Amino acid sequence: MKTFDGYMHGIGIGGWLTNYKRFKFIPSELRTVISPGDIEHFNTFMTSKDIESIASWGMDHIRFPFDYLIIEDEDKPLVYKEDGFRYLDECLSWCKRAGLNVIFDLHKAAGASCDFASEVSIVDDPGLRRRFIGLWCEMARRYRSEGDNVAFELLNEIAVEHDHSWNALIKDAVAAIRSIDPKRKIVVGCNRYNSVPRLKALDVLDDDNIIYTFHCYEPMEFTHQRAVIMPVIASFNMYMKYPSEIEPYRAYRRFAKAKTDPYAGFDRMDRAFMEHWLEPAVEFLRKHNRPLYCGEFGVIRHCDIVSRENYYRDLIAICDANGIGHCAWNYLTAPYDANRFSIVDDWDRKPLSEELIRIIS
């Protein structure tokens, strides 16, 4: 079984250079503006002490999400900003000192944001495709002297109508990177928000340094319970537990007028359901024998801590049993964020649960 060596137990550092604002709540004309407050946030949100803490827990890597606007202004395509790259370079130096590997994850690209799936145009617009590939060529040039301590993740949670259009862009981007950096580890995810069921639609490339990734937030009514960015779940307005009887989950499906029943045949929400949900990932491993990586999973912070611990414990146990590297979302969330998955306190950076730290590391 092939594994993503050096990237088996990690944590994301979202909230620094992505999701630093909740763009869903910002007027469209201001979404691409970097404000003075944003700069202040970029300069102060993460420090070397945070990276040292993560390393002290026994993690082997971080997933470092960044938005294209950090290194490229909206109105200046293919012109890259040294003052933006400074954040990536500085964090990489912290990680090297701490012994952590880094996945540079392009979380939002021009024409592709998981916050605005209906507006994704990157696969159809030639200019946006060139811009996407150009950014990755710049990343490849900049970091080609790094070893396996650095990996690239092409794009976070794309959602487009046709799988083949995303597969085609993956191939073009990988070819462009390979022309500069032949051996860099490149992480690619599937359509529909990196969802487990869509793994089967990914084209598997003839390249041993491609890593395939999925995200797992199922069941959403548990992991995103009462989340204000999820209107139907927020309207359901129920604290959910894990494990539990299945009825609260079925009650949510009825409330949401869902057309499918993922809980058919289950009388409890527990590890057995999670194993069932992750079966397409295990099947992908059996079929292709390629490294597989769960790049995001987690439970919203206002869930009771014991249920959070139970969920992380079960999902990680399933991943570990199958040689799947994993990365919890998320280390730290800005206090004003509407979707907080942090595992440390917003202010003193101390773990919310020592048991949770033990589980994820």
Instruction: Tell me if 70 is assigned to some domain.
Output: yes
Its domain, for residue 301, covers 9-220+273-360
Instruction: Tell me if 258 is assigned to some domain.
Output: no
pLDDT digits (tens, 9 = 90+) for 79-126: 999 999 999 999 999 999 999 999 999 999 998 876 666 567 899 999
Instruction: Tell me if 236 is assigned to some domain.
Output: no
Mean pLDDT across the stretch 130-140?
Answer: 98
Q: How many domains does the chain have?
A: 1
Q: What's the CATH code of the domain at 27? A: 3.20.20.80
Annotated catalytic residues are 157, 296
Instruction: Tell me if 235 is assigned to some domain.
Output: no
Instruction: Tell me if 261 is assigned to some domain.
Output: no
Tell me the torsion sign for CA atoms 127, 129, 132, 133.
negative
Q: Quick one: three-class SS letters along 154-186?
A: CCCCCCCCCHHHHHHHHHHHHHHHHCCCCCCEE
Integer angstrom CA distances of residue 316 from 242, 312, 348: 15, 6, 27
7-19 per-residue burial string, b: 16 or more CB within 10 A, e: under 16: bbbbbbbbbbbbb
Q: Please give the structure tokens belonging to residue 326.
A: 């994993």
pLDDT digits (tens, 9 = 90+) for 247-276: 999 999 999 999 999 999 999 999 999 999
Instruction: Tell me if 259 is assigned to some domain.
Output: no
Predicted model pTM: 0.97
Mean pLDDT across the stretch 142-170?
Answer: 96
Instruction: Tell me if 250 is assigned to some domain.
Output: no
Residue type, 56: S
